[in-house]
Amino acid sequence: MRDRAGSRRLRVIDAARKLFVNNGFHATGVAQIARESGVAVGQIYRDFEAKEDIVAAIVEGDCYAFLERESLYRAIAAGDETLVWAWIRQFMRPSDQSTSEPLFAEIIAESTRNARIAAIFTRTQGAVEGDMHAALALLAPGDHLARRRAVLGDMILTQSLGLMQHRLLRPLRDTDMLLEMILAAIAAEVRAMRGEDRP
């Protein structure tokens, strides 16, 4: 019974994700999600109290998949800086941008108008910041660097959103060189925090 309920929820979430990307959050109704998923409207409302709850499930699921938290935590536990750098690169340019980025942009826009979506986004953002701070603490340890790491984490998050927007607005532009310049700036700041740029 639980497997059937879980499968039904996944169908609803997948259908909603597709519709939100294609039509936007406001232009997508629960009836459309029902048609796309093959799940009756009444059943959707038994599984999700409101459309925002579907968004919450999408955001949380996508966030954890996108963050690859397990790989980051393994890298930190092993003290493997190379894997932490690989995680930061993946964070800056996720491998699957085709549906995740337009949906993420839609959710950010909706969070400015909808308090429930804003709360979901804020909670997710807190998880992202926590993971980023853990990654940077391995690369540049020390309590005295906590504030500087926090600012660098904010810079990485800001640059990541900027790159996403750039790819959405200019899909034919290659952002590889831009990404490499941003990563070089991050690496330079990490070296500076570690005192490795001194003569």
Looking at the predicted structure, is the pLDDT value of residue 23 above 80?
Answer: yes
22 and 85 part of one domain:
no
b/e per residue 30-58 (b: at least 16 CB within 10 A): beebbebbebeeeebeebbeebbebbbbb
Whether 121 maps to a domain, the answer reads: yes
The number of domains in the chain is 2
187 and 100 part of one domain:
yes
Whether 199 maps to a domain, the answer reads: no
44 and 57 part of one domain:
no
13 and 77 part of one domain:
no
pLDDT at 98: 53
Sequence-ordered list of residues with C-beta below 8 angstroms from that of 111, at least 6 positions apart, any chain: 117, 118, 120, 121, 122
| Domain range for 4 | 1-48
* Cβ neighbours of 25 (radius 10 Å): 20
The per-residue pLDDT of the chain, averaged, comes to 86
CA distances from 96 to 101, 102, 106, 166, 172 (A): 8, 11, 17, 16, 16
- More reliable by pLDDT, 146 or 66: 146
61 and 115 part of one domain:
yes
Looking at the predicted structure, is the pLDDT value of residue 198 above 60?
Answer: no
Q: Which range is least confidently modeled, 17-31, 117-131, 133-147? A: 117-131
63 and 8 part of one domain:
no
In this prediction the pTM is: 0.77
Whether 198 maps to a domain, the answer reads: no
19 and 67 part of one domain:
no
Looking at the predicted structure, is the pLDDT value of residue 31 above 70?
Answer: yes
Looking at the predicted structure, is the pLDDT value of residue 58 above 90?
Answer: no
Nearest to 158 by CA among 64, 91, 100, 111: 91
What are the counts of helices (DSSP H) followed by strands (DSSP E) for the chain? Answer: 10, 0
Q: Which range is least confidently modeled, 26-30, 31-35, 58-62? A: 58-62
Residue 96 binned pLDDT confidence (cut-offs 50, 70, 90): low
Whether 182 maps to a domain, the answer reads: yes
pLDDT at 139: 96
Looking at the predicted structure, is the pLDDT value of residue 38 above 90?
Answer: yes
Residue 108 binned pLDDT confidence (cut-offs 50, 70, 90): confident
43 and 55 part of one domain:
no
Tokens of 54: 């579907």
